Structure 1
Amino acid sequence: MKNRNLFPLERNRYYHGKMLTARDFETEQNYYNNKRRLINRCVLGAGVICGLGVYRNDDTSLSIETGLALDYDGREIAVTSPIIRKLQMIEGFETLVGHEQAYLCLEYDELLREPMNNIGAADSESQQFNKIEESFRLYLDPNQPDINTLFGEGGRNNVQTLYQGQGVSIYEVVPAIALAGQEFTAEYVVLKGAGLPPLSFTYTYESDTIRKEEGGTIQILFNEDKNSDQEIYRVGYTLKAAALADMQVPFGKGKGIFSLGMGDLRDQLELPLKHEIYLAGSPAKYEQMVEVHLSNLEKQLSGGDTPIYLARLDYISAGSTHILRKVNPLPFGQRITGIGGGQERKVSGNPSWQELLQNVTTNVEILKYWQKPEVKVRYSAPKKALNFHFGVPSSEAYDYATSSGIVEIPLSGAIRVNARFTSEEVPHNLGLGHVSLNFAVEFGSDESKKLLFGNGEVFKMKEVPKVEVAGILYPENGTFRIGIRCLDHVEGHLLKIRWFAYKVTRDTAELRAKDVVSIKITPDIHKMKVLERMHFEAAVGGTADKGVTWSVKDADGGKMDQSGLYQAPSIPGTFEIVAASTADPEIKTSAFVIVEE
Structure 2
Amino acid sequence: MNRSRYVPFERNRYFYGKLLTVRDFMTEQTYNADKRRLVNRLLYGSGVVAGLQVVAVDDKSIAIETGVALDALGREIVVPSPMTMKLSNVDGFTNHDYAKNVYLCLAYNEKPKEPVHAVGGMSNSEEISEHNRIQESYRLFVTDKRPKHPNISFEHLMFNEWAWYDDGSVSIYQYTPRYIKQDEEFEITLVIEKTLQSPPVSFEFIPQFPSLTVVDGDVDGKIVFQEPLDSGETQFVKQIRLKAATQEEGMEQAESVLFLSATTGSVKLTIGDRVVYDLNVLKQKLEIIEQDVASKIISDYYNRPLDLALDAPSEPSIYLAQLNLLQLGASYVIDKIIPQPFQDYVMNPTLLYKLMKHKFIAADRNGQSAQQADIIPFDQVKAPQPFPLIEEEFARIMPETEEIEPTPTVTTGIAEISIVSEKKKKWFQSRESTFYSEEIKHGFTDSVPYITTAISDEDIKSDVAVPEMWKKSDALISGDLSILKGSEYELHYPKLSIAIIQFPTNQTFRIAVKVHKKTDIMRVRVRWWATGAVAVKAEELPQHAHLEAAAAIE
**TM-score, normalised relative to structure 2:** 0.54
The number of equivalent residue pairs is 350
Residue of structure 2 equivalent to 1:46: 46
Alpha carbons 1:95, 1:141 under 8 Å: kept: no
Q: Deviations over 1:54-93 (max 9, x none)?
A: 2222222211111111111121111111111112322223
Q: Residue 38 of structure 1: SS of its match in structure 2?
A: helix
Partner Cα separation in structure 2 for residue 20 and residue 342 of structure 1: 46
**1:276 equivalenced with 2:255 (yes/no):** no
1:177 to 176, 179, 202: 179
After the TM superposition, which residues 198-597 of structure 1 pair with which residues of structure 2 at under 5 Å, given as runs?
199-213=201-215, 219-222=222-225, 229-234=232-237, 236-243=239-246, 244-252=253-261, 255=264, 257-260=266-269, 267=276, 271-283=280-292, 286-287=296-297, 289-293=299-303, 297-299=307-309, 301-317=311-327, 321-337=331-347, 339=349, 344-345=355-356, 346-349=359-362
Code of the aligned partner of 2:360: V
Partner Cα separation in structure 1 for residue 278 and residue 350 of structure 2: 37
Alpha carbons 1:154, 1:300 under 8 Å: kept: no
Partner Cα separation in structure 2 for residue 332 and residue 340 of structure 1: 23
Partner Cα separation in structure 2 for residue 201 and residue 151 of structure 1: 30
Alpha carbons 2:158, 2:177 under 8 Å: kept: yes
Code of the aligned partner of 2:102: A
Code of the aligned partner of 2:292: P
Alpha carbons 1:45, 1:340 under 8 Å: kept: no
Partner Cα separation in structure 1 for residue 79 and residue 151 of structure 2: 24
Partner Cα separation in structure 1 for residue 6 and residue 310 of structure 2: 13
Code of the aligned partner of 2:337: V
Q: Residue 141 of structure 2: SS of its match in structure 1?
A: strand
Q: Larger C-alpha radius of gyration, 1 or 2?
A: 2
Alpha carbons 2:4, 2:307 under 8 Å: kept: no
Alpha carbons 2:164, 2:279 under 8 Å: kept: no
Partner Cα separation in structure 2 for residue 118 and residue 3 of structure 1: 31
Partner Cα separation in structure 1 for residue 80 and residue 320 of structure 2: 16
Q: Residue 25 of structure 2: SS of its match in structure 1?
A: helix
Q: Deviations over 1:298-321 (max 9, x none)?
A: 145334534212222233456864
After superposition, the Cα gap between the structure-2 partners of 1:209 and 1:136, relative to the gap in structure 1 and judged at 3 Å, is same
Partner Cα separation in structure 2 for residue 233 and residue 133 of structure 1: 42
Q: Residue 29 of structure 1: SS of its match in structure 2?
A: helix
Residue of structure 2 equivalent to 1:522: none
After superposition, the Cα gap between the structure-2 partners of 1:67 and 1:178, relative to the gap in structure 1 and judged at 3 Å, is same
Alpha carbons 1:256, 1:272 under 8 Å: kept: no
More strand by share: 1
After superposition, the Cα gap between the structure-2 partners of 1:143 and 1:97, relative to the gap in structure 1 and judged at 3 Å, is same
After superposition, the Cα gap between the structure-2 partners of 1:125 and 1:245, relative to the gap in structure 1 and judged at 3 Å, is farther
Q: Residue 186 of structure 1: SS of its match in structure 2?
A: strand
Q: Deviations over 1:146-198 (max 9, x none)?
A: 34423872454321111224722121122333333333333333322135566
Code of the aligned partner of 1:240: K
Code of the aligned partner of 1:158: N
Alpha carbons 1:49, 1:70 under 8 Å: kept: yes
Residue of structure 2 equivalent to 1:162: 164
Displacement of 1:22 in angstroms is 2.0
Alpha carbons 1:211, 1:239 under 8 Å: kept: yes
Partner Cα separation in structure 1 for residue 180 and residue 305 of structure 2: 15
Identical-pair percentage? 31
Code of the aligned partner of 1:325: D
Q: Deviations over 1:374-410 (max 9, x none)?
A: xxxxxxxxxxxxxxxxxxxxxxxxxxxxxxxxxxxxx
Alpha carbons 1:92, 1:140 under 8 Å: kept: yes
Alpha carbons 1:44, 1:341 under 8 Å: kept: no
Code of the aligned partner of 2:45: G
Residue of structure 2 equivalent to 1:89: 89
Partner Cα separation in structure 2 for residue 268 and residue 101 of structure 1: 23
Residue of structure 2 equivalent to 1:436: none
Code of the aligned partner of 1:246: E
**1:135 equivalenced with 2:145 (yes/no):** no
Q: Residue 361 of structure 2: SS of its match in structure 1?
A: coil
Q: Deviations over 1:455-483 (max 9, x none)?
A: xxxxxxxxxxxxxxxxxxxxxxxxxxxxx
- Gaps (5+ residues) in structure 1? 352-597
Displacement of 1:327 in angstroms is 2.6
Partner Cα separation in structure 1 for residue 221 and residue 43 of structure 2: 36
Alpha carbons 2:164, 2:174 under 8 Å: kept: yes
Q: Residue 13 of structure 1: SS of its match in structure 2?
A: coil
Code of the aligned partner of 1:87: L
Alpha carbons 2:171, 2:192 under 8 Å: kept: yes
Residue of structure 1 equivalent to 2:190: 188
Partner Cα separation in structure 1 for residue 117 and residue 139 of structure 2: 28
Partner Cα separation in structure 2 for residue 248 and residue 75 of structure 1: 38
Q: Which has the higher contact order (CA 8 A, sep 6+)?
A: 2
Displacement of 1:230 in angstroms is 3.9
Partner Cα separation in structure 1 for residue 305 and residue 213 of structure 2: 27
Alpha carbons 1:45, 1:74 under 8 Å: kept: yes
**1:32 equivalenced with 2:32 (yes/no):** yes
Partner Cα separation in structure 2 for residue 8 and residue 325 of structure 1: 50
Displacement of 1:137 in angstroms is 0.5
Displacement of 1:122 in angstroms is 4.6
Code of the aligned partner of 1:335: Y
After the TM superposition, which residues 54-133 of structure 1 pair with which residues of structure 2 at under 5 Å, given as runs?
54-94=54-94, 96=96, 99-122=99-122, 126-133=128-135
More helix by share: 2
Displacement of 1:228 in angstroms is 5.3
**TM-score, normalised relative to structure 1:** 0.51
Partner Cα separation in structure 2 for residue 233 and residue 327 of structure 1: 15
Partner Cα separation in structure 1 for residue 215 and residue 177 of structure 2: 19
Q: Deviations over 1:553-575 (max 9, x none)?
A: xxxxxxxxxxxxxxxxxxxxxxx
